[in-house]
Chain A
Amino acid sequence: MASSLHSNNTQICPNPTALNGGSAADGKSQISKKPRLYADPPPLFTPSDIISEFSHHDPDVARINNGSFGCCPSSVLSAQNQLQLQWLRQPDNFYFNQLQPKIIQSRTIIKDIINADHVDEVSIVDNATTAAAIVLQQIAWGFAEGKFCRGDAAVMLHYAYGSVKKSVEAYVTRAGGCVIEVPLPFPVSSVDEIVKEFRQALRRGKQNGRKVRLAVIDHVTSMPTVVIPVKELVTICREEGVDQVFVDAAHGIGCVDVDMKQIGADFYTSNLHKWFFCPPSVAFLYCKKSTNNSDLHHPVVSHEYGNGLAIESAWIGTRDYSSYLVVPKVLEFINRFEGGIEGIKKRNHEYVVEMGQMLVKAWGTRLGCPPEMCSSMVMVGLPACLGISSDHDALELRTCLRDKFGVEVPIYYRPPKDGEEGGVVTGYARISYQVYNKVEDYYKFRDAINQLVDNAFTCASLPIS
């Protein structure tokens, strides 16, 4: 079997092992292809093209954490550099004549990809963290201006991203709102478990005549990572009279299917620098056109205040906006892969599951969720004998893997629940798969853990910092 997941012929589709019946290299993608930008499409990338595009990555590191900070190919970095030089060369001219049209171009491309109705619904911001501040700030005003009653609720998942939780604290709790967390089981076996917990949380939110003003739902949770059935949860929110639904899809675009009309949320944000090959950093915030959300503002107020969120976000003072402007170049890059972004998503998912299962078999552990509930990341149980018993342990183990083994992978501590027997898996690694990864990356990780186990390593033996 090939030592690399990339075949030697010109097409990028490799030959995954037992998972698929035949080769995915026969060029037929189940997913409809998006129209290309050129009459004669440029050639598909070869494996060596890809190595070259990511040659700026540290070659000694098994970089299996695309989820945290994403990646950006060198052809997009070059395009970005060109834009930066244009600004530096004559900034006034760029400001007056180039910046806004180029931002509109990026927004238009995104609108098409995400199936939004109007480009007005698409704002570009730095990252999902900023988008959360925008959405939550209007909730704070709702309390401050008496539109909402003290104690009205906001609902979010227990596994919501740390920054989002703090943003909810800063803008909702502080303004007098009540926050309900949806506990989610982990490991998780089916979407039904999630749906059930969510319904119960909504009921708690509506107790004593309270209104649920906002539900914050992750599309793909961060730690531990699981794909949430957002469409279904949004439907439930509508049934239960939730005012607004905000889907935090930081890991969305390029990782799962992102269709605004299908999902039906009021707000949807996704980072483009995680799984969509943009440089740090850029994200979109989709706001469905409705009277319910006309009061959205970027918290950094410029002279564009009042001209609509998309226009406000396109100028928040002098800054380097180049990462907002490279989206057309990114589309060119993506379309040089078989099946475009759909093909990339599909293959990333298949390989990460394959690699996860390889690791689980090598270590005698388990995955954190069934394959259909993961995207291009999956949680892989670590051997219990490593003795991961705190968040601190998880961080220290991660540092040890980075410094001693050249493996970059985030580790999650999963506290044992009451009634669980000893030997339960308390540590999970979140492995990612992106186009630059190769099977050696995961072997390196497998072997590192095996070596630690062989050496009878435990987290208890780590120095206390």
Chain B
Amino acid sequence: MQHDDPRNGESTHRSSKKPKISSQFITESDIRDEFSHHHPRVARINNGSFGSCPGSVLAAQRHWQLQFLRQPDAFYFNSLRDGITASRKIIKDLINADHVDEVSLVDNATTAAAIVLQRIGRSFAEGKFQKNDTVLMLHCAYEAVKKSIQAYVTRAGGSVIEVRLPFPVNSEEEIISELKKSIDEGKSNGRRIRLAIIDHITSMPSVVIPVKELVRICRAEGIEQVFVDAAHAIGSVKVDVKEVGADFYVSNLHKWFFCPPSVAFLYCNKSTTSSDLHHPVVSHEYGNGLPIESSWTGTRDYSSQLVVPAVLEFVNRFEGGIEGIMKRNHDQVVKMGKMLVESWGTNLGSPPEMSAAMIMVGLPSRLCLNSEKDALKLRSHLRDCYEVEVPIFHQVPKDGEEGVRDKDGFITGYVRISHQVYNTLEDYEKLRDAINQLVEDGKTCKMLFKE
């Protein structure tokens, strides 16, 4: 499925290596080899949750691990720091940051959120912020981020505003309008909005957010700092931190950028963020700047942070490099989404241009998916009985609003399908057929037993 389109001509990214000429591109059979460690019978259409890592990158990782085990002291003194710096430099170029000092490597977006929010917490504790100063976030922000806000902001006396996102969503304007409403609400009673946390691509339900526009609005409205949670972004949409213009930007590299679990980068704009950002796990590097603090948080396996060069080699074996991969993933996931919609008689959760490599597809209303529990039950059932792995979202109908209907009732459940280079048409056909079978058999979620 990856030979469809000619090379994407509008690449504005600077990758360290030029992609190869056509005779050297990775073949379908190479790709199967690279992902031969995946369960062969599972229709793995959930790259979004845990990502994937090809065999050649795993081999590079193993090499780093063995180096440490062989002579850890020599590795610590002579190799580790340089290896991490090399990875950070590649990331800096990929994301169009100005200085490598702006790029820290951490475990995952969850850790990055703790770093940014801990600082907010300190500002409240130290009297820099007043009680009821506010943090703004999307209603569908990732649960870990919500809890982090509770742990570091609410606990310290701050208040929180949630921006409701319409779903299904029809246009970017709907999102922009909700943000403006929430900002107005936030600024009422003289409260200051100290931080806005905006997803680049929401998790559940998944939608690509017009971050550049939202960041601009936040600035215009006097919001002090903006943190873009782009857990899904790199390898799935274009990432240009200068263009986005946020103070903080985090993305996981193990989701869509082929790194092993786990590694993420946290970008901190040098001119707008203070040096008072710290990794919460404090080592002897405390005070030497976040990138250095993050590069040593005690004895650990840092190998996932060291394989970024190997990943770059891998993506450059594909036609168009990472841009080619992104474009093809997007085209395929939309194509597959439409195929499912047609077969089930349902809908997409967003227009194609508001999706990247994942898209929400409505489930037939006859499944009667009426709660989170139903969603989880259905997901387990698909895994255990049909060998299909796909996360499922329960759409709570809004009071007084007409939901989207199919021919039998309201659509209250959506699958989030992903497309990554290892996926095949058969994966989605398997899902299509499984759902059709359940509907045909008259099954509802309540009837499904957990295996």
Contact = CB atoms under 8 A, between A and B. Distances in A.
A joins B in a complex: yes
Contacts of B74: 58, 61, 402, 408
A318 interface: yes
A95 B50 contact: yes
Contacts of B298: 126-130, 163, 281
Given A301-B113, A320-B260, A280 B70 contact: no
Nearest to A274: B299
Contact of B284 (A95, A163, A280, A323): A163
A298 to B, nearest CB: 9
A408 B73 contact: yes
Contacts of A77: 69
A303 B147 contact: yes
Contacts of B37: 85, 88-89
Nearest to A93: B383
A448 to B, nearest CB: 15
A317 B108 contact: yes
B300 interface: yes
B280 A57 contact: no
Interface stretch (B83-91, B148-156, B166-174, B324-332): B148-156
Contact of A166 (B70, B110, B125, B282): B282
A93 B46 CA distance: 12
A90 interface: yes
Interface residues of B, number: 64
A246 to B, nearest CB: 14
Interface in A146-189: 162-163, 166-167, 169-171, 174-175
B19 interface: no
B118 A299 contact: yes
Interface in B267-298: 278, 280-287, 297-298
Interface in B209-232: none
Contact of B109 (A70, A163, A317): A317
Given A163-B282, A305-B150, A92 B46 contact: yes
Contacts of B150: 301, 305
A410 B77 CA distance: 12
A170 B278 contact: yes
Most B C-beta atoms less than 10 A away, residue of A71, A128, A133, A136: A133
A319 B111 CA distance: 11
A318 B232 CA distance: 13
Nearest to A128: B298
A316 B287 CA distance: 24
A361 interface: no
Given A128-B298, A317-B262, A91 B70 contact: no
B27 interface: no
A77 B297 CA distance: 22
A281 B53 contact: no
Given A316-B111, A319-B261, A323-B301, A166 B72 contact: no
B196 interface: no
B300 A126 contact: yes
Contacts, number: 187
B380 A300 contact: no
Interface string A63-75: 1010011111000
A425 B46 CA distance: 62
A144 interface: yes
B398 interface: no
Interface in A398-427: 399, 402, 408, 410
Interface string B234-261: 0000000000000000001010000011
B155 to A, nearest CB: 8
User: B42, B282, B297 — which one has the most chain A CB atoms within 10 A of its CB?
Assistant: B282
A88 B53 contact: yes
A69 B73 contact: yes
Given A69-B299, A319-B108, A303 B143 contact: yes
B137 interface: no
Output the residue of A58, A126, A280, A316 with the most chain B CB within 10 A: A280
Nearest to B387: A90
Contacts of A133: 280-282
A4 to B, nearest CB: 22
Interface string B107-139: 111110110011000100100000000000000
A339 to B, nearest CB: 26
23 contacts: A69-B68, A88-B38, A89-B39, A126-B300, A137-B280, A140-B125, A144-B125, A162-B283, A163-B284, A167-B286, A169-B286, A299-B281, A300-B114, A300-B280, A301-B117, A301-B144, A306-B147, A317-B262, A318-B50, A318-B262, A320-B260, A402-B77, A408-B74
9 residue pairs, one from A and one from B, having the closest CB atoms:
A129-B298, A317-B110, A299-B280, A69-B72, A91-B50, A305-B147, A162-B284, A166-B286, A317-B108
Given A61-B74, A127-B297, 16 more contacts: A56-B66, A88-B260, A89-B37, A89-B38, A144-B156, A163-B282, A170-B286, A280-B68, A281-B301, A301-B114, A302-B147, A317-B109, A317-B110, A318-B262, A319-B261, A320-B262
